[in-house]
Amino acid sequence: MSHALIELKGITRSYTVGDGQLTVLKGISLSIEEGEFVAIMGPSGSGKSTLMQILGLLDRPSTGQYFLLGHDVSGLSDDEGAALRSKTIGFIFQMFNLLARTSALDNVALPMIYSGAPNRDMRAKELLQDVGLGDRLDHAPNQLSGGQQQRVAIARALVNRPRILFADEPTGNLASAQADEILAQLELLNRSGITVIMVTHEPEIAAHARRVIRIKDGVVVSDERTERSRGDAGGGTAVAPPRQKASASPKFKLETPDFSFGEFKEYGASATRAMAANKVRSALSMLGILIGVAAVIAMLAIGRGAQKAIEARISSLGSNLVTLSPGATTRGGVRGEAGSGSRFTLGDIKAVAKANPHIVRVDGNVQGTVQVVYKDKNTSTSLTGALPVYGPMRNSEAYFGRFFTEDENLRLARVVLLGQTVVNNLFGKENPVGKEVKINHIGFKVIGILPIKGSSTFRDQDDVVIIPLYTAMKRVLGKLYLNSIPFECDSPETIQQAMEDVGVLMRHRHHLPQYKEDDFSMRNMADVQAALAGTTQTFTLLLGMVAAISLLVGGIGIMNIMLVSVSERTREIGLRKAVGAARRAILAQFLIESAVLSTLGGLIGIVLGITISLTLSTFAGWAAIVTPEAVILAFVFSATVGIVFGFWPARKASLLSPIEALRYE
Ligand code: ADP
Ligand code: MG
């Protein structure tokens, strides 16, 4: 091979401590060949770990050059370092650094997630068997002894078939029997072709290596080969399988693999683990999103219900309807020409009908308050005299009995239709149709009951009686003129033109000179409808905004929890990076975690919101309509909140330097 595996030239490393600089490595130059077993020795604090972190690409030298496989790696980016670590380097730490609450199997398989290697579980199982832990696959670290944990760590270090194995005081936390086992493992691995670089401060441990480099005060003080022969290694319990010798033409791949399904599964699992480990905290942080989403759904449902109710009421009054009334419109609060009220005659009805071809129906109404008596009961109600078109124009066809006819109108027949309130007041449960009532002392026959319209805020629309127009004018109210002429157009688009034509016609019929204002006014039901719809829309928007604010608050809650989670799991993040996780992978992990948190909150919130809506409409009688759009909106919103508010903490986690994260207390 033309290059040494590792070549350091004048490596220094200084730390900024307080105001000063602490130079730990002061120009280290050395080279290590493939297949060596090197022990780096030195007193505590001499910079062994610092050197090893630089060798393992976890840290960067302050000055100097580092060639790995002949390539200068001193200036690699974070992610390039991660990719190279993932393919080439395995780590064994003094503190084991296994993921808590995670099975031995998953711990071993972890680096393969980041390298994108296939058959993870099979390989991890194989390696655990090699290190003698075939029967401990499902044990979490806290269910294993120190020596067993370190063997899991060895298996993890080997999982991506590294060419170099770094071990920082691998036996420092172990009893001597366990330490011997670990050392035997390392020797076996070295014999199978892996370069082993081990840091230790104990000469007995270093004696297992074939080369010992001593450093002191940041410089190499000695570098010698030991007399250890290849044949006399102590018998280990496990037998590492022979490894293919690393190829002579080294592959130097730095690109990170694409996202795989396995990665997502792992992040989902780690999110679930993190949430399960902090159930109460997770539940509380979900609460914000949950309430927000439930509020959005319930508010939108109520708003939508109110809108529908208003629409239904308005359409029950008739559509495309314009009411022509005498008297000028109020303009700017001043009523033009007070007292000069115009009068509508029966002739005006016929004229209006001809004013525009799009006018399809014309009615003429008179109104008055009357006393209606049935047997010993009486009630005061509002009477309307109308033409038979009233029924179809106002959606007021008799729902029981019949409406009156044109013939009855012409004959001044004494027939009446009663609104539901009048029926209730006079008849109770009795059927009124066919009975005789007295209206202002005149006998009338009840021929039908009007459909229920419900009460608006202003008046009870069912507290009415309707009789033929002529009968009302001549027999009951004694009126010569009409109170209003409602007319109906064939479509909403033709209303405007029809109103203009009727206006011109009425001015002409009333002989109004140019300078005079109209002595009549027209009210378009479509305008009223639009105004009301606008009101409910504003109302819905307002409710929606209140709900959105609560979602925002929920999002901030999630962010808060994620920040706590990141700092709590700093060491875990450091470890993941050390075994090859790119920034992107850490970012994805925490984003998925916060998205899972908020989406779960969102889902529960949707269920709660729908329940609230149904409860309100069932028990409180509020119209509440849950639309699929509202549900989708709430869901998308909650997931978005998770991702948006999770981004900052996730990014913070992804930017941690692996070694600082690993050292985090
Ligand atoms: P050891 O040889 O015991 O492994 P280290 O390489 O861990 O020693 O540390 C060498 C020296 O560098 C120590 O004196 C330590 O205090 C210092 N040091 C290590 N890491 C940092 C850091 N992040 N900031 C400041 N000083 C550090
Ligand atoms: Mg150390």
Tell me the per-residue pLDDT of 474-502, one tens digit each, with 9 for 90 and over: 999 999 999 999 999 988 888 889 999 99
Place 230 in a pLDDT band, splitting at 50, 70 and 90: very low
Question: What pLDDT is recorded for position 165?
Answer: 95
Task: Give kind and range of the element (H or E) at residue 26.
Answer: strand 20-32
| 261 belongs to a structural domain | no
Residue with tokens 């007292």: 339
For 297-311, write each residue's pLDDT tens digit. Answer: 888 888 888 878 777
End-to-end CA distance of the chain: 43
CA of 46 to the centre of ligand 1 (A): 8
Q: For residue 576, how many other CB atoms are within 10 A of its CB?
A: 26
Cα 216 to middle of ligand 2, angstroms: 13
In degrees and rounded to multiples of 5, residue 651 shows phi and psi of -65, -40
Give yes or no: residues 458 and 544 share one domain.
no
- Tell me which residue has its CA closest to atom 26 in ligand 1: 15
Of residues 446 and 589, the one with the higher pLDDT is 446
Is residue 357 scored above 90 in pLDDT? Answer: yes
Q: How far is the CA of 212 from the centre of ligand 1 (A)?
A: 21
pLDDT band for 136, please (50, 70, 90 cuts). very high
Residue 247 has pLDDT above 60, yes or no: no
Please, which residues have CB within 8 angstroms of residue 359's CB and are 6 or more apart in sequence? 352, 353, 487, 488, 489, 498, 502
Q: Is residue 216 part of a domain?
A: yes
Residues 156 and 181 in one domain: yes
User: Residue holding tokens 């009124």?
Assistant: 432
CA distance 573 to 656: 8
Q: Which of 195-209, 362-376, 634-648 has the lowest mean pLDDT?
A: 634-648
Q: Which of 461, 481, 515 is the last residue of a domain?
A: 515
- Atom of ligand 1 minimally distant from the CA of 53: 6
Residue 230: exposure state from Cβ atoms within 10 A (0-12, 13-18, ≥19): exposed
Least confident range of 193-197, 200-204, 268-272, 354-358: 268-272
Examine residue 541 and state whether it is found in any structural domain, yes or no: yes
d(CA 397, CA 420): 13
Bigger pLDDT: 353 or 546? 353
Closest C-alpha residue for ligand 1 atom 15: 45
pLDDT(200) > 70 = yes
d(Cα 2, Cα 4) in Å, to the nearest integer? 7
CATH number for position 166:
3.40.50.300
For a ligand 1 pocket test, name from 14, 40, 50 the mutation site with the most ligand atoms within 8 angstroms of its C-beta: 50
Which ligand has the minimum distance to the alpha carbon of residue 55? 1
The confidence band for 456, taking pLDDT boundaries of 50, 70 and 90, is low
Give yes or no: residues 282 and 134 share one domain.
Answer: no
Determine the atom of ligand 1 nearest the C-alpha atom of 199. Answer: 4
Is residue 193 domain-shared with residue 50, that is, in the same domain? yes
Report the distance separating Cα 170 and Cα 150, nearest Å. 7
pLDDT at 469 over 90: yes
Q: Give, using CA atoms, the residue closest to atom 22 of ligand 1.
A: 15
**What pLDDT is attached to residue 243?**
43
Residues having CB within 6 Å of any atom of ligand 1? 15, 17, 22, 24, 42, 44-50
Residue with tokens 């009409």: 482
In angstroms, what is the span from residue 49 Cα to ligand 1's centroid?
7
The first and second tokens of residue 332, run together, are: 């700017």
Q: Does residue 252 form part of some domain?
A: no
Max Cα-Cα span within the chain: 133
Which ligand sits nearest to residue 42's alpha carbon? Answer: 1
**Rounded average pLDDT over 363-370:** 94
In a domain, 18, yes or no: no
Ligand closest to CA 217: 1
Q: In this predicted model, which residue has the larger pLDDT, 96 or 40?
A: 40
Mean pLDDT check: name the lowest of 386-390, 416-420, 507-511, 521-525.
Answer: 521-525
Helix (H, G, I), strand (E, B) or coil at 77: coil
Of 25 and 248, the structure prediction assigns the larger pLDDT to 25
Query: Can you tell me the mean pLDDT for 50-59?
Result: 91
Residue 17 maps to a domain: no
CA pair distance 424, 235, nearest whole angstrom: 103
Confidence of residue 329 (pLDDT cuts 50, 70, 90): low
| Cβ atoms of residues 392 and 452 within 8 Å | no
Q: Which residue's CA is the closest to the ligand 1 atom numbered 10?
A: 47
Tokens of 304: 């939508």
Ligand 1, closest atom to CA 50? 6
**CA 14 to ligand 1 centroid distance, Å:** 10
| Atom of ligand 1 at shortest range from CA of 663 | 23
More confident of the two residues 55 and 78: 55
Residue to mutate (ligand 1; options 12, 24, 221; most atoms within 8 A of CB) = 24
Residues 381 and 492 in one domain: yes
Cα-Cα-Cα-Cα dihedral sign, residues 17, 21, 26, 32? positive
Mean pLDDT of 114-131: 89
Give the closest residue (by CA) to ligand 1 atom 21: 15
CB 195 within 8 A of CB 36: yes
Rounded distance from Cα 220 to ligand 1 centre (Å): 16
How far CA 450 is from CA of 293, 351, 385, in Å, comes to 43, 29, 14
CA 70, CA 249: separation in Å to the nearest integer? 11
Q: What is the pLDDT of residue 526?
A: 72
Same domain for 509 and 419 = yes
Better-predicted residue by pLDDT, 271 or 581? 581
Q: 44 CA distance to ligand 2 centroid (A)? A: 7
Residues 207 and 302 in one domain: no
Residue 524 forms part of a structural domain: no
Whether residue 220 sits in one domain with residue 87: yes
Give me 403's structure tokens. 């409406």
- pLDDT over 50 (residue 332): no
Cα of 47 from ligand 1 centre, angstroms: 6
Averaged over 205-226, what is the pLDDT? Answer: 91
- Do strands 211-216 and 219-225 pair parallel, antiparallel, or not at all (unpaired)? antiparallel
Query: In this structure, which residue's CA is closest to atom 24 in ligand 1?
Result: 15
Q: Does position 250 have pLDDT exceeding 50, yes or no? A: no
For a ligand 1 pocket test, name from 15, 59, 660 the mutation site with the most ligand atoms within 8 angstroms of its C-beta: 15
How many domains is the chain built from?
3
pLDDT at 319: 75
Q: What is the pLDDT of residue 226?
A: 80
Question: Considering only CA atoms, which residue is closest to atom 7 of ligand 1?
Answer: 49
- Residue 552 tokens, joined: 């925002």
Residues 400 and 480 placed together within one structural domain of the fold: yes
Listed range (134-138, 186-190, 227-231) with the worst mean pLDDT: 227-231
In a domain, 7, yes or no: no
Q: Are residues 578 and 443 in the same domain?
A: no
Q: Whose CA is nearest to atom 1 of ligand 1?
A: 45
Look at residue 232 and tell me whether its pLDDT is greater than 50: no
Centroid of ligand 1 to alpha carbon of 224 (angstroms): 25
H or E element at residue 561: helix 525-568
- What are φ and ψ of residue 204, in 5° steps? -65, -35
Residue length, the chain?
A: 665
- What does the pLDDT read at residue 457? 54
Ligand nearest to the CA of 53: 1
Paired tokens of 206? 């270093």
pLDDT of residue 258: 60
Say if residues 234 and 180 touch (Cβ distance below 8 Å): yes
d(C-alpha 6, C-alpha 250), whole Å: 13
pTM: 0.68
What is the chain's alpha carbon radius of gyration, rounded to the nearest angstrom? 44
Q: Given ligand 1 and candidates 21, 22, 26, 48, which is best to mutate, with the most ligand atoms within 8 Å of its CB?
A: 22
* Helical spans, DSSP H, in 131-197: 146-158, 176-191
Kindly state whether residues 149 and 208 are assigned to the same domain: yes
Give me ligand 2 centre to Cα 362, in Å.
98
Q: Decide which of 515, 541, 566 is a domain's last residue.
A: 515
Q: 219, 238, 257 — which closes off a domain?
A: 238
Q: Which domain holds residue 42?
A: 34-61+78-238
Q: Do 102 and 214 lie in a common domain? A: yes
CA of 195 relative to ligand 2 center, distance in Å: 20
532 CA → ligand 2 middle, Å: 75
Q: pLDDT over 90 for what percent of the chain?
A: 43
Measured N-to-C along each axis, helices 583-615 and 279-316 cross at an angle, to the nearest 10 degrees, of 50
